[in-house]
Homo-oligomer: A and B are copies of this chain.
Amino acid sequence: MKLVKNKAGRFVPEEVNGEKQIPFQGVGKYKSSGKIASPPVRSCIDFPSDGNKIVKNLKDALKKSGLKDGMTISTHHHLRNGDILTNFLFDTIHSMGIKNIRWFPSASFPCHNHLIKYLMDGTIHHIEGSMNGPLGKFTSEGKMKGMGILRSHGGRYQAIQDGEVHIDIAVISAPASDPFGNANGVQGKSACGGLGFALADSEYANKVIVVTDNLVPFPCVPWQIQGNNVDYVVRVDSLGNPAKIVSGTTEITKSPDRLLIAEYVAKFMDEAGIVKDGFSYQAGAGGINLAVIHFLKKIMIVKGIKARFIRGGSTKYLVEMLQEGLIDYILDGQTFDLDGVYSMRDNPNHVMTTPFTSYNYHSKGNFASIVDAAILGATEVDLKFNANVVSHSDGYLLHGIGGWQNCLFAKCSILTIPSFRDRIPVIVDEVTTLCGPGELIDVVVTETGIAINPKRKDLLHSLKNSLLPIRSLEEIQKEVYEICGGAPEKPKLNKKKVVAVVKWVDGTVLDSIYQVTR
């Protein structure tokens, strides 16, 4: 396999799974001269005039969709770790004797451990999409037949829209659907919130199958997925485990170090002048992020400040702020708990967003760069502010990119990281995997100090008299190395075997992930 050095100085394959790639050319440097994907013209002649697209079962729908060896099948991850349907889908595909599927999920979760046997027996050729947990480990060990491709949420939309990935059959889990295929995720026992991650699939896939455990009479309103894009509707008893779909694990961190990080972030944002009437920020559902919301809310109440919108990952914490009038809108990309689901269902100011509106880089702008501040995690940061969010310093691929790369385009991107994890320093000399170029990362907040990217002279100026522990990354690293006994051990990697690549938001290849050999 031939590797070339890209503009970030990382070595990346020229070809991935037989398809030629464009190496990363720098932030804002690459523009496609192509045209967007162009599905065939359909006709109402081929669809039932009474709008009833229900077929017997999933196998029947797959047959009618022309399922064949080597096809690309997409799924979405709104059912998160409660997803039963995707496992059932591949049980069905396996039972039909089909091989070499490219599985194109928006993300996979530990519950998809079930699919490792299908990766082993050739049913699934490779995965393009986030591989959280066991599937990531499997890939890192070099066991997957093809090469993995990791994309951000926006990058996934871009790849589908631009025709880089042609989906043969999209299978969309729908907590509510009508027989025409209009579907949403806010009604029914498997309610999960918005279905935005399935939007591109519904628009561009050749065949679209909606699977529901909650069939409602036409019209299913809201139609987050439009039946006009759907071929078949399948009824099943259950899409998943509701307790794990909306996991209820979205709780504020109790760790004193992490609480301190959150408090630093809120104070930093305040002192930097970000927290003012009409401001906006992006909040995730991790423990530190939820704590940031808590501290920001306190500041907002004391100062009488109202935010225009918060981008979520919505949780009860955001919903409360909306209800209390502290924010005008929640712009919600993913709904993490039932409070979020009910709020999206009932409150017109809790608005579903999609990777198209929020993150697609190949669009006439998107929401991500409009947001005043985005607060994000990372597994590693290096001294040039480059960051990693998919692998650990032992080399294992264990997380997806999510909207992380896309959110870096916020007016102020803030990484919140404990300075070490399990006694392993997190600020390193060079990140194991490059996911975010340092030029896009403005601030790194740890419990031992806040580092501002030297490029952001404006922030350095605003904070120059701050009592916050503003330090350089080098200083923080030195202190942590002293605590942990030096730099983390180098991962044991087979640099001849790339197991997966990380794409940038424009479709170019940013970095390679190598086989772990220990």
Contacts and interface: CB of A to CB of B under 8 A. Distances in A.
Interface in A185-217: 208, 217
Q: How many copies does the complex hold?
A: 2
A227 interface: yes
Contact of A362 (B42, B229, B362): B42
A47 B365 contact: yes
Nearest to A507: B41
Contacts of A49: 365, 369-370, 409
B36 A38 contact: yes
A35 B42 CA distance: 9
A231 B365 CA distance: 9
Contacts of A329: 219, 221
A171 to B, nearest CB: 16
Contacts of A363: 42, 44, 228-229
Interface in A30-58: 31-51, 53
Nearest to A280: B218
Interface in A339-392: 348-349, 351, 356-357, 360-367, 369-370
A150 to B, nearest CB: 20
A36 B41 contact: yes
Interface residues of A, number: 63
A349 B345 CA distance: 12
A180 interface: yes
A219 to B, nearest CB: 6
Contacts of A143: none
Contact of A28 (B35, B45, B180, B409): B45
Nearest to A410: B49
A504 interface: no
A50 B412 CA distance: 12
Interface in A229-276: 229-231
A39 B28 contact: no
Contact of A230 (B278, B309, B364): B364
24 contacts: A31-B41, A31-B43, A31-B45, A32-B43, A35-B41, A36-B39, A36-B40, A36-B41, A41-B161, A41-B362, A42-B362, A42-B363, A43-B362, A43-B506, A44-B365, A46-B364, A47-B365, A51-B367, A51-B369, A53-B365, A180-B365, A217-B308, A219-B308, A228-B366
Ranked 6 nearest A-B pairs via Cβ: A47-B365, A38-B38, A51-B370, A49-B369, A35-B38, A32-B41
Interface of A: 28, 31-51, 53, 161-162, 180-181, 208, 217-219, 221-223, 226-231, 278, 308-309, 329, 331, 348-349, 351, 356-357, 360-367, 369-370, 409, 411, 506
